Chains A and B, each alone.
Chain A
Amino acid sequence: DTAVSQTPKYLVTQMGNDKSIKCEQNLGHDTMYWYKQDSKKFLKIMFSYNNKELIINETVPNRFSPKSPDKAHLNLHINSLELGDSAVYFCASSHRLAGGRGTDTQYFGPGTRLTVL
Chain B
Amino acid sequence: SQQGEEDPQALSIQEGENATMNCSYKTSINNLQWYRQNSGRGLVHLILIRSNEREKHSGRLRVTLDTSKKSSSLLITASRAADTASYFCATDADPGGGADGLTFGKGTHLIIQP
Interface, chain A (partner B; CB < 8 A): 33, 35, 40-48, 50, 55-58, 60, 90, 92, 97, 100-111
The total number of A-B Cβ pairs within 8 Å is 78
B43 nearest CB neighbor, chain A only: A108
Cβ B43 vs Cβ A45 within 8 A: no
The B interface is mostly helix, strand or loop, or mixed, namely strand
CA distance A60 to B101 in the complex (A): 14
CA distance A61 to B3 in the complex (A): 21
Cβ B45 vs Cβ A105 within 8 A: yes
Cβ A42 vs Cβ B106 within 8 A: yes
Using an 8 Å CB-CB cutoff, how does the interface string of B80-107 with A read, 1 for contact, 0 for none? 0000001010101111101111111011
CB distance from B90 to the nearest CB of A (A): 8
Cβ-neighbour of B101 out of A41, A45, A104 (below 8 A) = A45
CA distance A48 to B71 in the complex (A): 25
Cβ-neighbour of A42 out of B42, B96, B104 (below 8 A) = B104
CA distance A55 to B86 in the complex (A): 28
CA distance A92 to B45 in the complex (A): 11
CB distance from B6 to the nearest CB of A (A): 11
CB distance from B73 to the nearest CB of A (A): 19
Contact partners of A100 in chain B: CB under 8 A: 94-95
Known: A108-B43, A110-B42. A47 touches B33 (CB 8 A): no
CA distance A97 to B45 in the complex (A): 17
Number of contacting residues on B, CB 8 A?
Answer: 29
Interface, chain B (partner A; CB < 8 A): 29-31, 33, 35, 37, 41-45, 48, 86, 88, 90, 92-96, 98-104, 106-107
Nearest 6 A/B pairs, CB to CB:
A102-B30, A45-B101, A57-B99, A43-B104, A102-B92, A45-B99
A46 nearest CB neighbor, chain B only: B99
CB distance from B61 to the nearest CB of A (A): 14
Contact partners of B100 in chain A: CB under 8 A: 45, 48, 50, 55, 103
Contact partners of A97 in chain B: CB under 8 A: 30
CB distance from A101 to the nearest CB of B (A): 6
Cβ B31 vs Cβ A33 within 8 A: no
Q: Could you write out 12 A-B pairs with CB less than 8 Å apart?
A: A33-B101, A35-B104, A41-B106, A43-B43, A43-B90, A45-B98, A55-B99, A55-B100, A57-B99, A92-B101, A103-B101, A106-B90
